[in-house]
Amino acid sequence: MRIQPRQQILGVWRSLLTACYREGEWVWGGRDGSNSISDAEQLLCLLYPATEIDGFGLDRPDDIPDDIRAVLSPMGNPQRVGATLVRVLEDYIDRYTEVAANEAGEKKDLPVFAAGSYLSSLDEVAPTDEQRGLDIVDSYSMSLTLCLAALKFLRGFQGFLLTQTRREARDLAARIDHLDARINTRLTAAMVGLVRSFVVNTVTPESPEGRAMLSMLNQTGAAAPAVVDAVARRLERVRIRLRNDLTLSQTPGVDLYDEDLLFECGWSWSLVRDAAYIDFVDMPIAAAPGYAIARPYLHFTVVALDGINDLTSARTRELDLLDGEQRRLAEALQLRWDLAQRYWSAVARFGSGRWPLEDIPWRTSDGEESDYFSLTVSAVLMQDLLNREADDDDLTRAAPIFDELARRGRITSRMTVHDSARAMHTPGVRLRLIGSDEVYDGPLLVWTVSDYATVLLKRILQAARLSGTMEVRDKLLQLAQDTMEHLDRRAFREGRVTGLWDDPARLFGGAENHEPSWYLTERVVECLVAAARMFREPPLRFPSMVARAMELLIEAEHLLNGQLLELSDTDSSALRTALALAQRRLERARILIDERPGTALSLASQALLELDELAYARFDATRSV
């Protein structure tokens, strides 16, 4: 199935409005009910493409293309679309903000990040109400992305409104001022949550955790002390920076000076137990007690990295969205983002033989194994390569890993009757939230992740974007199309949710669903945004093609100059027009030869054929005289 980001995103938007915009009102909730994460995902299905892809913007009503106007027509005319989005954002902030008075009697917003209906338990005992109010890293990360997207839209739309003279426009601009401040409060709180959820974990090589880590790192059967020493040397710079540069909210009780200890870093599932307070932020979350185990989870690490990636993007910096307090938090998050990527990228490729990442499935430090964990490690590796100079050798080795993960995840292979891979898609991989049963009187909670196909697709697209080898890129793009076809087969085909996700029963059997999963739909939209970014970049250029295009261009320009030399005032205007056309083609070819050598080669070839036809016509006319 061909990936066509514009058409497919507009299809999602059309289906989104059919499903949740009724009689002029936005309807919250999906398959898992309504909570701070699901509702943010629902909104991001619309706002994320609108603020990340040029040509999809909704903040300048006069510039909205006709096809987007048609899709969004249920919300009214283009200016009404902006006003509706303002109202929906206000509703979201109201739903997930508590208002409390401080000692001076001033009312302050307290953002709510409760995971709510997304939480469940292993023994099917319902979580308590207090447990459903627990924060999750997914909520911090998704709120960070939503707040940034909302600010990008609101500030652009407010700029448009200030050029209008009608009273309604001025009133709406004033409402945006208030909404902007409340969204900034939520953004700051989400950033604090991510800072305080980051953890460094050290273990002895002899411990069960240390043995599990060494079982992945030691791909050559070397003695354990030699592997520990090699790991210490490979990760020395990461260890030093974690020890010296990570000053804000350090993990307590961690010894990074002892090089005989193994370590890992990343994000736990929520605020880490005994996490240090952040004293320069006047919010309860900056000093709230933590309850999550001080051990990184691969899934939550990838989720946090994706959110921080939006925070550190060039678009965010260009728009100058952050205030001074947020910039300080952003610097802390960028440091953690860089260190986590470098750590897991180094671990994934550790050693001189087979990569640990190639040893599927990945085993985590708590001894659990899953193809999903291999996929999340590869996701961090791709994000690290995307932000640094990627080595084509790394990408050449990564491509077969994606192919194997697609096969093992039954994306490109047949599902058997009692296939264990089915559980990775439905109901999904269940992550135990260690510590969730110690704070309130309730069961141990689990977090279910069912995004195997979308994580795979997004990382394949990133790898294809980085690849400088034609064969590797072609294989990756074919695998991306196969994965998109898999996802397309899981989209709803009937009812008001047609075109949304997820209906896994169509592929895997089991109970049918009739409500959209905003969790998966939003991640499909992220994949389409990633595809749009890749397609907007110049295509691959090969030195051999550049050289061949230059050879043809030089020959064609020489022949053109010769024919122009022989052009007399009595020659027909048709001849002049033909030579002028050939000249324009060659001028265009010279402009494109560095970025699009294939196009330049085609233009030069076309000009050569036209010049040869003119030369032959002149020769034939001379011969007949």
Q: What CATH number has the domain bearing residue 332?
A: 1.50.10
Same domain (yes/no): 384, 510: yes
In contact, 155 and 318? CB cutoff 8 Å: no
Report if residue 220 sits inside a domain: no
Outline where DSSP puts E strands in 234-336. 262-267
Residue 436's nearest CA partner among 130, 184, 204 is 130
Q: Would residue 214 count as lying in a domain? A: no
Distance, in Å, from the CA atom of 218 to the CA atom of 226, rounded to the nearest integer, reads 10
- Contacts of residue 356, Cβ cutoff 8 Å, sequence gap at least 6: 216, 217, 219, 347, 348, 349, 350, 362
Q: Could you tell me if 198 and 258 lie in one domain?
A: yes
Domain check: are 278 and 237 in the same one? yes
**Total domains present in the chain:** 2
Q: Are residues 198 and 282 in the same domain?
A: yes
- 484: nearest Cα among 517, 511, 510, 523: 523
Is the model more confident about 247 or about 210? Answer: 210
Domain boundary among 536, 559, 577: 536
CB under 8 Å, gap of 24 or more: what pairs does 186-189 form?
186/93, 186/96, 186/97, 186/109, 186/111, 186/143, 186/147, 187/143, 187/144, 187/147, 187/148, 187/151, 187/326, 188/281, 188/283, 188/325, 188/326, 188/329, 189/111, 189/113, 189/143, 189/283, 189/285
Nearest to 594 by CA among 525, 560, 545: 545
Q: Do 584 and 522 share a structural domain?
A: no
216 domain-assigned: no
248, two tokens: 């804000």
- Selection from 107-111, 289-293, 520-524 with the highest mean pLDDT: 520-524
Cis peptide upstream of residue 65 (ω within 30 degrees of 0): no
Please report the pLDDT score of residue 1 as a whole number: 66
Q: Which of 477, 503, 536 is the last residue of a domain?
A: 536
Burial (CB count <10 Å: 0-12, 13-18, 19+), residue 541: middle
Asked if pLDDT for residue 120 goes beyond 90, the answer is yes
- Give strand ranges (E) for 28-131: 97-101, 107-111, 119-121
d(CA 463, CA 467) in angstroms, rounded, equals 6
As separate numbers, helices (DSSP H) first and strands (DSSP E) second, the chain gives: 24, 11
Q: Give residue 591's domain range.
A: 545-623
- Please check whether residues 294 and 154 belong to one and the same domain: yes
Residue 69: is its pLDDT beyond 80?
yes
Q: With respect to residue 222, please indicate whether it lies within any of the assigned structural domains.
A: no
| Gap between the Cα atoms of 545 and 523, Å rounded | 37
Is pLDDT of 123 > 60?
yes
Question: In this predicted model, which residue has the larger pLDDT, 411 or 316?
Answer: 411
Q: 536, 540, 531, 535: which is closest to 470 by C-alpha?
A: 540
Amino acid at 330: A
In a shared domain, residues 178 and 31: yes
Does 597 lie in the same domain as 456?
A: no
Domain boundary at 503, 536, 569, which? 536
Tell me the percentage of the chain whose pLDDT exceeds 90.
66
pLDDT of 501 above 70: yes
Same domain, 452 and 583: no
- 625, pLDDT greater than 60: no
Rounded-to-integer distance, Cα 546 and Cα 548, Å:
5
Asked if residue 394 has pLDDT above 90, the reply is: no
**pLDDT band at residue 570 under the 50/70/90 scheme:** low
Are 585 and 499 in a shared domain?
no
Distance from C-alpha of 459 to C-alpha of 532, rounded to nearest angstrom: 14
Strand order in the sheet with 429-432: 119-121, 445-449, 429-432
251, pLDDT greater than 80: no
Q: What is the mean pLDDT of residues 393-412?
A: 92
pLDDT of residue 596: 86
User: pLDDT > 70: what percent of the chain?
Assistant: 97
211 occurs within a structural domain? no
Average pLDDT rounded to a whole number, residues 263-289: 93
Q: What is the mean pLDDT of residues 549-561?
A: 89
Instruction: Tell me whether residue 219 is in a domain.
Output: no
Rounded average pLDDT over 517-542: 90
Interacting residues of 77 by C-beta distance below 8 A, sequence separation 6+ = 61
Q: Phi first, then psi: what are they for 72, rounded to 5°?
A: -90, 10
Q: Looking at the structure, do residues 195 and 294 belong to the same domain, yes or no?
A: yes
Q: What is the pLDDT of residues 166-207, one digit of tens each?
A: 888 889 999 999 999 999 999 999 999 999 999 999 999 999
Say if 474 falls within a structural domain: yes
Say if CB 389 and CB 466 are below 8 A apart: no
Is 223 part of a structural domain of the chain? no
Q: Flag whether pLDDT at 317 surpasses 90.
A: no
Three-state DSSP class for residue 200? strand
Contact 111, 181 (CB under 8 A): no
17 with 85, same domain: the answer is yes
